[in-house]
Chains A and B, each alone.
Chain A
Amino acid sequence: MARQDIPLEQVSVGVTARKDNWWIKPLLVFLGFSTFIVYSTWAAFQNADYFFNGNGAQYLSPFYSPLLYGQADAHPVFGTEHPAWWPGWLPFSPALLILWAPGGFRFTCYYYRGAYYKSFWLDPPACAVGEPRKGYRGEQKLPLILQNIHRYFLYVALLFIVILTYDAVISFIFVNPDGTKSFGIGIGSFVITINVILLSGYTLGCHSFRHMVGGKLDCFSKNPVRAKSWECVTCLNSKHMTWAWFSLFWVGFTDLYVRLCAAGIWTDWRIL
């Protein structure tokens, strides 16, 4: 029998008795989110190469959809000139007018909150691992009490799903040299369609949506339609983290695909 003096308390950051590689997951999450934030910020400020119309295709980057102001061939909603009220010191990009919505939806998402509280705030870095700060307000007080706005971002995100579905449909319609339009399939059509499928899986599996469709009920048997809806959303919600990561990766990849095709670096292969 040997004695060893190790304190029972684990009060400072990273201190733990855990013997597994607990730091790998928060590190990967940190790297994944950081990469996306850096890329999406860069892409949002480019204000170029967001629409590909080679070979008659009509691919719009999801970072710029809906296109409120922009190049004429991409059919902007309000016109080609940027709005007069736009501050002169800030470079204009139509992406900046819309990205607050999906960005806010993800930022306030229950899955992402738990993930970035761990990976960025280290609050805690991992389960049963010491934290850097003694004080804690959680989401009980300002500023994080504002996370409760999540359901309002959900309403806007649902609208975005409709818009991105329209973009996916348009990606199968190609403009012929004589100006007529016909059905076609390019690799980009698949890329854009997979994007909206993944984003739908993520958005429709949202915890707030689950509550909205039926979670708030106590008695399911009196509301069979809402009970069934709740079951469907619960099914998506059980894999919410997976949907969140795949949709995050793919929305970035979709922008990259359209961007590289528009810049002439990649070729969009026409299948049909």
Chain B
Amino acid sequence: MSTVTLRIWRGTEDEGSFEEYSIERNPGMVVLDAVHKVQAEQAPDLACRWNCKAGKCGSCSAEINGMPKLMCMTRLDDLPEDKPIMVQPLKTFRTIKDLVTDVSWNYAVKKKIKPFKPRKPDAPDGTWRMKQVDVERVQEFRKCIECFLCQDVCHVLRDHEKYDEFIGPRFLIYTAGLEMNPLDTEDRISDLKKRDGIGYCNITKCCTVVCPEHIKITDNGIIPMKERVVDEFYDPLTRLFRIFKPSKKSKAEESS
């Protein structure tokens, strides 16, 4: 049976190094299996976060050979065999220990986004009626497993550390999902421009590339939101038409 060498980051944000471990390679092994084998046989104090092993919980996010990926969905067969496999924590977030990072910033960002605010119920029993065609766009964004790989790869956070000015692709599509929801009456366009920094996104589509759920984050979420920001702030013609056809925000204000 062949062996595989892993070069795993050991340490914290401030202090640490890559350490090499060689293990036996089993057929069908994924990187998470390999890390668990290292943990079981050579480094019981190796810290890594995991849960479902099925690509649905978003816990085992890491950088494998420099690219943000889920460890449980990355097969060793798909990686070059002649070089050690580099496994390191998400660069964008503070490393707590080894492969475990502190992603709590994301939860704080999510709390700031205006929540779902539905229109008055359609039926006397307090329920709404929606057609499938109206929810399909939103359903794509609901596939997100919050692995934060898109947040990690986004250079606005990764390289420029705009944590205070930019919410990142995950929360841009979260906002898009709320904004495009036909039941929702809240207006978040102004926040997107002024507080959430949608203008910092320069559409390099790295978030789409790394998304394990294959959500078209940029094309279906961020760019449509950028266009709505243009409608609201940069397009004088659209603003002129608004005089005759008020926006969702205006309607909501009227109804309230």
Contacts and interface: CB of A to CB of B under 8 A. Distances in A.
A113 B202 contact: yes
Interface string B62-89: 0101111000000000001001001011
Interface in A1-45: 1-6, 8-11, 16-20
B91 A138 contact: no
A127 B209 contact: yes
Interface residues of B, number: 64
Interface in A103-150: 110-111, 113-114, 117-118, 123-124, 127-128, 130-131, 134-136, 138-141, 144-145, 148-150
A185 B134 CA distance: 47
A18 B67 contact: yes
B16 A148 contact: no
Given A117-B203, A218-B181, A227 B133 contact: yes
Contact of A124 (B67, B159, B203): B159
Contacts of B83: 19
Interface string B225-249: 0111111001100000000000010
Contacts of A238: 219
Contact of B18 (A4, A19, A141, A227): A4
A215 B227 contact: yes
A58 interface: no
Nearest to B247: A216
Contacts of A208: 227
B192 to A, nearest CB: 11
A136 B200 CA distance: 8
B19 interface: yes
B88 A218 contact: no
Contacts of B162: 136
Q: Across the A-B interface, give the 5 residue pairs with the lowest CB-CB distance, nearest first.
A: A140-B199, A17-B66, A18-B66, A127-B206, A138-B200
6 contacts: A2-B20, A8-B95, A128-B68, A136-B200, A139-B202, A211-B228
Interface of B: 7, 9, 13, 16-21, 42-43, 63, 65-68, 80, 83, 86, 88-89, 91, 95, 131, 133-134, 153, 155-156, 158-160, 162, 165, 179-182, 184, 197-206, 209-210, 218-219, 223-224, 226-231, 234-235, 248
